[in-house]
Amino acid sequence: MNKIIKTIMKILLLSELLLLCGCQIQTDAGAPIEPIVLTEEENMSLAIGYYNVKTKEVQINDLAVTADGSLAAVATAAKTLDLVSNTGSAFWEMELPFVPLKTYMDPQGNFIAVGMEDGKLSVLAPDKKELFNYQFASGIKDITASVSGEYMLVCLGAEEDGQQERMVILKEGKPLWEKTADTFLDAKFAGEDNRVIVNWQNGETPYLTCYSAEGEVIWEISRNKPLGISSESRLVISAQDQDLIAYTWETARKKWNYTVSGSIERVLAAENSKYIAVLTRDESSVLEELLYFNHTGRLLWQLRLPVDANVIVSADGERIIAASWQQYQEDITSISVYNREGEIIQSLGIAGRVQKMAYANHSNTLVLGLDDGGIYFIEVTEKGNASSGSLTAKTRSDYYREVSFSKEEGETPLRLYFYDENAECFVPVTRRAKNVKSLLRSTIQELVSGPVQDSELLRTIPKDTVINVTEKDGTVTIDLPKELDEAAGSGFLSGVIDSLLLTISSINIETIKNISFTVEGNRQETFGREGLLLEEAYSPRPDGIQEGERLLYLPLIAKNRYYLRACGKDFADLKDDELLNAIAQAVVNEYNAKFRERVELQKVYTDKSLIYVDFAASYGKMLADTPEAAARAAVLRDALALSLAENSTKATVRFTSDGAALPVMSNYLNWEITITRPYYVNPES
């Protein structure tokens, strides 16, 4: 860092020490860490430093940070560029003549480059003095520099519609050579000789080309995108369809390939280590996964990501950070930090929407830019959560919330259907809304809002989608936006339609006879690019039960949360106790499969007003006095009781073990339950 920065940092040292707050909470290695949902004040206490740009509610176009995390450059749509210290103080603020689109910060903080929408490139010293500028004919899409800072690469948008884009290499502020193409997908410097590796496209064909610093073609291959470069292993990582391919950057010799399921969206190579992160998307369900490889092409681990998650990988490959605003009901960005083994080492929820992220590799500092103009500098901890509070012990309700039979005055329980963690089945949850004026509209609004943050469930409809619903003469009409009609993925669109049908069917309005769909007010036979059929009208089907099927509630596990899911099952001509035994066995079988346990059912029988569920003697002995064990017993109890009561004239279910009473323990629910209606499954807190 130059003398100017060092002098200013000494002056700000005292304020930095005063702002350092928050603590690390140690947990058992490998244990899951619950996200912390933070208010605006708690956001500030969590941060090493906090800064807010002058213009509130501003679009942050780009963020760049030095390697030591001491400085960040913030470009906004309000035509400003701010240089900010990690203590939250601004070195300077600059009004620009045009909107800045991209920023680049030298890792050592020696200069800042900013590219504007009119095509002006301005390179500034840390003291705000302009080192040089250059005026291009079109807006700047990307800026990067070689390690030495001698060369700079600038990607430009097309001057007019239909024209080609340009990539220009500058040396010491002067254009050296350039290339044109229909689209530049990515471009990076590689190696000590400052070669440039470019991923570009003409027509439908993508290319991967390696140039010398002077613009001579060293090698070129076609049909490859996207691009990632690992300096440590000297590899260029790209994709051909579903094949991930690693080439040597000297000669483009293929080193290895790996076939993934789904399409490859991004390749994020850890520049200074031997790890590669790959983001894939299932075209049917639109679900995304993160795959983590070593330099030999061995898959180390993979995990499911929320839709449209923003992911960055540290240069050393030790930190993988995923942020998503899309998944949850609250206005919260969920941020998860993983180590190279795929273990989550930090998890938190930032109040607000994170627009941009940057990571300082030498200091483990994460810089976040929010939609309210707030800039947070957050320390990425090794273990535990950074928090201003303490980690409380888990209770039974942290794992499972039992069936409820009551509601408070003034509230309306809404039954909403979200996906389980793998988007394989729908899970009903009960959300308690207040001051409901229109039951139909409120229900759809809450469905679009999505699941709560700690639910481990997935939304079925993109956040902020506008869906209108009306009811006339017994027909509910759901009007979908054209954005959904243009979306890809038959599985994704089926999830939208089915969750809407299930949710509307759960509303206790006797006048609803039919449910129909329109798109922007117009009736269509098909929906989406895959041509999903939209029938003229659907009949309400509560819980999706077909004619002749019995309603069952089956246990479900989603990471560290337990749920009941409704399903229909045909038991042919079984009746009375024979039917009840078959239902109970189906529930127990599902429980054993999901929870990997060996619960044995002895028999189910009725006596007077009771249904008895008698487990084998081994069940009573396997019950541990812990919140997690109590939650598992509770979800099995509720699943059996609801399934049996739904298919019997008797409403009270008593549980025994080899004919004897089950043990009474502090964390456990009663072993006798009476089912009354209405009841509310999977109630949210």
Which helix (H) or strand (E) segment holds residue 190: the answer is: strand 183-190
The vertex-374 CA angle with 371 and 376, nearest 5°, equals 120
Token digits of residue 7: 């002098």
Domain range annotation of the chain = 396-544, 550-674
The per-residue pLDDT for 382 is: 62
Region for 632 from its dihedrals, namely left if φ exceeds 0, alpha if ψ lies in -120 to 50, beta otherwise: alpha
User: Do residues 222 and 205 touch, judged by C-beta distance below 8 A?
Assistant: yes
Q: Supply the pLDDT for residue 626.
A: 93
> Residue 403 is encoded by which pair of tokens?
């069936």
Which is higher by pLDDT, 373 or 502? 502
The arithmetic mean of pLDDT across residues 550-565, rounded, is 95
pLDDT digits (tens, 9 = 90+) for 593-636: 999 999 999 999 999 899 999 999 999 988 999 999 999 999 99
Q: Which of 362, 331, 335 is nearest to 346 (CA)?
A: 335
SS3 (DSSP) at 160: coil
pLDDT, greater one: 666 or 112: 112
Angle between helix 627-646 and 576-595 (nearest 10): 150
The pLDDT tens digits for 380-433 are 876 444 433 334 578 999 999 999 999 988 899 999 999 998 888 999 999 999
Look at residue 392 in the predicted model and tell me its pLDDT: 56
Residue 349 — pLDDT band, cuts 50, 70, 90?
confident
Lowest mean pLDDT among 13-17, 468-472, 499-503: 13-17
State mean pLDDT over 177-194. 94
280-314 confidence digits (pLDDT tens): 998 777 788 999 999 999 999 999 887 778 999 99
The answer on pLDDT for 31 being more than 70 is no
Average pLDDT over the chain, rounded to whole? Answer: 87
Mean pLDDT of 566-590: 95
* Residues 561 and 400 sit within 8 Å (Cβ to Cβ): yes
pTM, two decimals, is 0.80
Pairing of strands 205-211, 217-222: antiparallel
Task: Report whether pLDDT(39) > 60.
Answer: no
15 pLDDT band (50/70/90 cuts)?
Answer: very low
Q: What is the tens place of the pLDDT at every residue in 204-231?
A: 999 999 999 999 999 999 999 989 999 8
Look up residue 663 and give its two tokens.
């043990």
pLDDT score for 24:
29
Please tell me the chain's helix, strand, coil percentages from 3-state DSSP, rounded to the nearest 5: 15, 40, 40
Q: What is the 3-state secondary structure (H, E, C) of 309-371?
A: CEEEECCCCCCEEEEECCCCCCCEEEEEEECCCCCEEEEEEEECCEEEEEEECCCCEEEEEEC
What distance in Å separates the CA atoms of residue 239 and residue 461, rounded to the nearest whole number? 29
Assess whether pLDDT exceeds 60 at residue 42.
Answer: no
- pLDDT confidence tier of residue 274, bands split at 50, 70 and 90: confident
Strand partners, 310: 323
How far apart CA 518 and CA 527 sit, in angstroms, is 9
Tell which residue, 611, 602, 607, has the closest CA to residue 658: 602
Helix H or strand E segment including 8 = helix 3-11
| Helix ranges restricted to H, 343-476 | 396-399, 439-449
Instruction: Tell me the three-class secondary structure of 612-630, residue by residue.
Output: EEEECHHHHHCCCCCHHHH
Provide the percentage of residues in the chain whose pLDDT is more than 70: 91
> What is the rounded (10 degree) CA torsion for 7, 9, 13, 15?
120
Instruction: For 652-682, write each residue's pLDDT tens digit.
Output: 999 999 999 999 898 999 999 999 999 999 9
| Amino acid found at 611 | I
Question: 490-505 vs 439-449: helix axis angle to the nearest 10?
Answer: 140
Q: How far apart are CA 428 and CA 506, in angstroms?
A: 10
